[in-house]
Every structure is written in structure tokens, then in C-alpha cells.
């Protein structure tokens, strides 16, 4: 973005706490415009700075960043962010306004203090545009009711969600039946014979059709070939449709180290990932199956009664259900049934909240992260960056089923991952489209 010509052209962005907890260096992402941090935001960040969660890390990093930027300056004055290429920042103390959001909304709370900061700037900086930036939709609505321009924090937000949905699988019709026959007979075919000059993405999957036959195929970018994909069992779990077949192929493919599986409830995301992990249990030291804890009504688990185990059990139960389902494919006397019990008892297979696993070394691990749409982009990056030798990571989730405040289908970590890593030779993405849990579950997904 070109530098503004004058102070009047430079906007003033007022940042809410939710933006900083989402990305601590967000203050640096407003080009040449100026940034204001209400003192209330610093007070809220002080409450978040202790702990091992990502939001605690973001709070600490922002406080360090602000301290480094300020150096020996007083932060209530305008201070340069980064020489001539950026604007300035300042911390705004609680102002006295003619219009008071606490009185208007009938309650004194931190959100209203932040609104008061924006109102003060609008009244005092009359020749400049003041914009409140928040991940909190309700706060943005309140701001607009006070005639304050409000926006979501857009940096890193996915612009084209449809493109993400269509990543990974392609359907081609009216192909030469002889090429499809060759795929059946020889297992592979030169990609150019089938795809011509069409752009090819690494590890993409294809449903290839002619007027006589059809075949499932995988694009091997290393050999520039299309390989036939067959339905395979993984620990006695058999894929029920083309997309599940593709997903299991990616999970079992040793060349692919990072897989994301998107789909609504009941499409088999977690089940396939766990079955694939068990099938490859000899190739890894441990299997980790984790999910973020998103408490009901966004209350911390400390509000719930009981010890830590009883508090966490409700969140982990869906993962245990999948494991029990796989185990029940066998008789109790079968060695496969007993092997699962043995893996759990020896902690070769670990099911835990993500917070308990975050920070561990991820070498020689098959790591499944369930409900990944409830992670921020930074959390996704942190998990992947800890991967050591011979580690494979599977992220599963539904980008339209967000349970975390301040995230949506365009800003959550799973969407971010799919958008940023698509077409990488180590990565594969599959969208599961058909619910396979039951006809009743499909009714709910389709009609309710």
C-alpha cells in the first residue's frame, strides 16, 4: 500500500483485545496508518499473560513488543512503529466524553470503555477517519450503533472460501476409455495423457470418467503420473465412498507428512484418521489424538465440578467413541482387539486435550488433531513447527462449525492451513462430502 500523502489520509485504528490475542504483532499490519491501544486493552492483557495457552503467549509477546517499541518514550504520546514505512501508535487513557457508552448501554464494562476510547478519538481527531478493529462481532455492532466505523481484523483472513472447499479433488468427464483401462491394468499412467496441459496440484485426487468406465486416481507429482486409488482396509475400517477412499489413501501415503480433512459431522474424518494411524502403528513411536477444549458458553473448565479427569472426559469422549468403534470391529479374543487395549495401557496411543500435548517433542509421532477449526492460524503453525523426524500430522474439522469466539470460516486455523499449504508436495487435503454415520444423521445435516 503506498504511503498516505498527508495526516488526513492516515486513518486511526483502535485495536480491541481480541485482535491482539489473535495475533500479537497485529499492531504492525496497518501500513502507514496510526494505531491506538486503549488502556483497558492493556489491563485485559495483564489478566491473560499467565498460562501456557496460545492466548497467554500472544498477550506476553504483545506486551514485550510494546515495551520494545516504546523504549524510553512515554506511550501515551504518538510513537513511531517502524521508521518511515509505518505509522505511529499510542496508548489512550480512559477519556471523559460527552457521550458515554457505559451510560448508553446501562452497564460499566471493559467493552464500553474501549468504545469510549474510539468515541473520544472521533470527537478530537475530527479530520481523520477512526476505525475500531475487533474480532468480537457484538462489539462491532455496538460500535456501529454509536456511529463508529468498525471492522474485523482482516490480515490472514481467507478471501475465497469456495476455492478452499474445492481444493484437493477434481472430477473429469468424457475421457478416453483406453486411458482409464490402462490405469486399471498398469496401476499408473503418464499424467499428460489424461490431464493434457491442465494445471496439476501436488497430491491431488481425481474421479476420472468416460462413457464406459470410471476410476479413482492420485497425482504423483514426483513421477508426474496418475496412480489408481483402490479401496483399502485400515484396521478393518473400509472407506464407503470416493472421498473417504482418497482421505485414507492420503493418511496411509508415506510421502505425505501433512493431511487436512474437512467435512461435516458424521463424514468419518476422525474415524479414518485413527484407523489409518493404527494401521501404521509399527512405523511410529506413538499415536497422539488430541482436540482443543472449547468449554460450553466459553467458560473455563474450572467452572465445572469435579477433578481434572471428570472435567475433561466430556471433551475427550468423542475420541474414545471412535477408538471403541474400531476395536468393536473385532472380537475380544482377536489380537487386534487386544492390541488396542495394550497400546492405550502402554501409552503408545494417547488421547488428551491439545493443551496437554502442546510443547512436547513431536518426533516419530503420528499426530491427529481433531476439531482443528477451533484453532487459530498461530496455533496451527506452532503445532506443525514442532514436527520432528518421521512425524505425520492429520488435522480434521469442519470450517463452518466454529465453537471458539472471534474465529469464523475465513479466519480459523484449518482454513488458513488449507489456503496457505495447498499444492505443497508434503501436503494433501480432502473434503468429505457424504455423511456415513446413519440415515438419521444425514437427515439432520441435510434438512435441519
Question: 7: pLDDT confidence band, cut at 50, 70 and 90?
Answer: low
Domain ranges across the chain: 7-152, 157-230, 236-447
Q: Phi first, then psi: what are they for 398, rounded to 5°?
A: -125, 110
Residue percentage of the chain with pLDDT more than 90: 67
What pLDDT was estimated at residue 302?
A: 46
Q: What class does CATH assign to 7-152?
A: alpha beta
DSSP string, 195-225: HTT----TT-EEEEE-SS-EEEEEEETTTTE
Question: 311: pLDDT confidence band, cut at 50, 70 and 90?
Answer: very low
Strand partners, 257: none
What pLDDT was estimated at residue 308?
A: 46
Give the CA angle between residues 178, 184, 188 to the nearest 5°. Answer: 90
What pLDDT was estimated at residue 83?
A: 65
Q: Which helix (H) or strand (E) holds 39?
A: helix 39-48
What pLDDT was estimated at residue 369?
A: 96
How far apart, in whole angstroms, are the C-alpha atoms of residue 177 and residue 164?
Answer: 30
Q: Does the pLDDT of residue 398 top 80, yes or no? A: yes
Q: Across all residues in the chain, what is the average pLDDT? A: 88
Q: Does the pLDDT of residue 397 top 60, yes or no? A: yes
Question: 362: pLDDT confidence band, cut at 50, 70 and 90?
Answer: confident
**Which of the listed ranges 87-101, 118-132, 426-440 does the model predict with the highest average pLDDT?**
118-132
What pLDDT was estimated at residue 307?
A: 45
What pLDDT was estimated at residue 313?
A: 64
List, in order, residues 6 or more apart from 334 with CB less than 8 Å away. none
Task: Compute the CA torsion angle 111, 114, 119, 120 (nearest 10 deg).
Answer: 150
Strands 349-353 and 286-291: parallel
What pLDDT was estimated at residue 23?
A: 92
Q: Which pTM value belongs to this model?
A: 0.84
Mapped onto helix, strand or coil, the DSSP state of residue 127 is coil
What pLDDT was estimated at residue 437?
A: 66
For 236-447, CATH gives 3.40.50.300
Provide mean pLDDT across the span 47-74.
Answer: 89
Same fold, 7-152 and 236-447: yes
Amino acid at each position: 500500500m503506498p504511503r498516505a500523502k498527508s495526516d488526513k489520509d492516515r486513518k486511526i485504528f483502535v485495536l480491541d483485545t481480541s485482535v491482539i490475542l489473535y495475533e500479537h504483532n497485529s499492531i504492525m499490519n496497518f501500513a502507514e496508518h496510526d494505531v491506538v491501544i486503549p488502556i483497558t486493552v492493556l489491563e485485559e492483557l495483564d489478566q491473560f499473560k499467565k498460562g501456557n495457552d496460545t492466548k497467554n503467549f500472544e498477550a506476553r509477546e504483545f506486551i514485550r513488543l510494546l515495551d520494545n517499541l516504546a523504549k524510553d518514550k512515554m506511550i501515551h504520546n504518538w510513537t513511531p512503529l517502524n521508521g518511515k514505512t509505518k505509522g505511529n501508535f499510542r496508548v489512550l487513557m480512559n477519556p471523559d466524553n460527552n457521550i458515554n457508552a457505559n451510560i448508553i448501554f446501562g452497564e460499566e464494562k471493559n467493552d464500553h470503555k474501549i468504545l469510549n476510547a474510539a468515541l473520544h478519538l472521533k470527537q478530537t481527531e475530527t479530520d481523520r477517519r477512526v476505525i475500531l478493529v475487533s474480532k468480537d462481532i457484538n462489539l462491532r455492532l455496538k460500535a456501529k450503533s454509536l456511529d463508529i466505523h468498525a471492522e474485523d481484523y482482516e490480515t490472514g483472513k481467507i478471501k475465497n472460501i469456495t476455492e478452499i472447499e474445492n481444493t484437493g479433488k477434481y472430477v473429469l468427464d468424457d475421457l478416453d476409455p483406453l486411458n482409464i483401462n490402462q490405469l486399471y491394468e498398469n496401476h499408473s499412467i503418464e499424467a499428460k495423457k489424461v490431464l493434457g496441459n491442465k494445471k496439476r496440484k501436488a497430491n491431488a485426487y481425481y474421479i476420472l470418467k468416460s462413457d464406459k468406465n470410471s476410476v479413482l486416481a492420485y497425482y504423483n507429482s514426483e513421477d508426474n503420473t496418475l496412480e489408481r486409488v483402490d479401496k483399502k482396509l485400515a484396521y478393518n475400517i473400509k472407506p464407503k465412498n470416493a472421498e473417504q477412499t482418497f482421505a485414507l489413501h492420503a493418511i496411509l501415503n508415506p510421502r505425505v507428512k501433512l493431511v487436512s480433512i474437512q467435512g461435516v459431522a458424521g463424514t468419518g474424518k476422525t474415524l479414518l484418521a485413527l484407523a489409518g494411524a493404527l494401521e501404521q502403528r509399527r512405523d511410529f513411536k506413538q499415536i497422539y489424538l488430541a482436540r482443543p477444549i472449547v468449554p460450553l458458553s466459553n467458560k473455563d473448565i474450572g467452572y465445572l465440578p469435579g477433578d481434572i479427569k471428570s472435567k475433561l472426559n466430556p471433551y475427550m469422549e468423542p475420541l474414545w467413541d471412535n477408538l471403541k468403534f474400531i476395536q468393536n470391529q473385532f472380537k475380544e479374543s482377536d489380537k487386534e482387539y487386544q492390541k488396542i487395549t495394550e497400546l492405550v495401557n502402554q501409552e503408545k496411543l494417547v488421547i488428551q486435550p491439545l493443551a496437554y500435548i502442546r510443547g512436547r517433542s513431536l518426533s516419530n509421532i503420528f499426530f491427529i488433531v481433531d476439531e482443528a477449526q477451533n484453532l487459530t492460524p498461530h496455533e496451527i503453525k506452532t503445532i506443525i513447527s514442532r514436527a520432528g523426524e518421521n512425524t505425520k500430522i492429520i488435522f480434521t474439522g469442519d470450517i463452518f462449525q466454529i465453537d471458539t469466539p472471534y474465529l469464523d470460516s475465513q479466519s480459523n486455523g484449518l482454513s488458513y492451513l488449507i489456503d496457505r499449504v495447498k499444492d505443497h508436495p508434503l501436503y494433501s487435503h480432502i473434503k468429505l462430502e457424504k455423511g456415513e454415520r446413519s440415515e438419521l444423521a444425514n437427515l439432520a445435516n441435510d434438512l435441519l
